[in-house]
Amino acid sequence: MSLIQHAIGAVENFVDLGGPVVGILLGLSVLAFAVIIFKFWQFHAAGVGRRGALNEALVHWDAGSEAAARGAIKRSPNHLGPLLVEAMNASATDNDRAMLAERLNARAEAQLARLESTFRLLDSVAQIAPLLGLFGTVLGMIEAFQKLQGAGSSVDPSLLAGGIWVALMTTAVGLAVAMPTSLILTFLESRVARERTFIDKALQMILCPGEFDEPRTQRPVAVGGQAHAH
């Protein structure tokens, strides 16, 4: 309990030293940290990035082995697996492939939108934190120069230096909050972007099997003792 009280006291002293702007920045850092922890949990629960079994299923489906494809999907923890099963079921009964693709793409976008929720919040924190830090620095510099003016002719250089480093503290705190938030947001966005690219390719492969095969090298086939290219 004493350790917790010591930590709380240290935070209070830090806020008192840096002013209310530092307190706001610390609040933003706690909010961003909580959102990041939630997003990592959400991505893990949804199996984001774990697409090995789904890629195997697409290979089987493109080769015409429907049972093997469905079996591979059952082993996948990825949240897109049920959507691929739905696409496989619908492709056998729905002749309007264009409407089917639009419907499945809309379902996929809805799932990806849930993964992208709170991204705007993290982006706002990453953009606002440096501005708040700069705002705190400006306020601190104004206060430091006011103290310097009040000192009159008996100017103490340490008075100005102390006010300046306290003012610059808010900028440092703002950058310390913004930089990791921005990096983690970029990482999360890249994960969702790869999921979107995968589902676009997967739906096309399911609805149009065989069209993603690599072009085969023409081989000569002997017909009547003569070789003819295929």
Task: Calculate mean pLDDT across residues 178-197.
Answer: 95
CB 230 within 8 A of CB 218: yes
**Quick one: which of 137, 131, 140 has its CA closest to 177?**
131
State both tokens at 30. 């706690």
For residues 89-111, average pLDDT: 79
Domain ranges of the chain: 21-207
Summarize the confidence of residues 175-194 as an average pLDDT.
95
Q: What is the pTM of this model?
A: 0.78
124-171: per-residue pLDDT in tens?
Answer: 999 999 999 998 888 888 877 777 766 666 666 666 666 677 778 888
The rounded distance, in Å, linking the Cα atoms of 76 and 81 is 7
Write out pLDDT tens, residues 42-94: 999 999 999 999 999 998 888 888 889 889 999 999 999 999 988 888 776 65
Mean pLDDT of all residues in 94-101: 71
Whether the per-residue pLDDT at 222 is higher than 70: the answer is no
> What's the distance, Cα to Cα, between the start and end of the chain in Å?
80
- CB 51, CB 76: distance < 8 Å: yes
Residue 22 scores a pLDDT above 60: yes
The answer to whether residues 21 and 170 touch, using CB atoms and an 8 Å cutoff, is yes
**Chain segment 84-95, per-residue pLDDT in tens:** 988 888 776 656
Across 158-187, b (16+ Cβ under 10 Å) vs e yields eebeebeebbebbbebbeebbeebbebbee
pLDDT score at 146: 75
Among residues of the chain, what percentage have pLDDT more than 90? 41
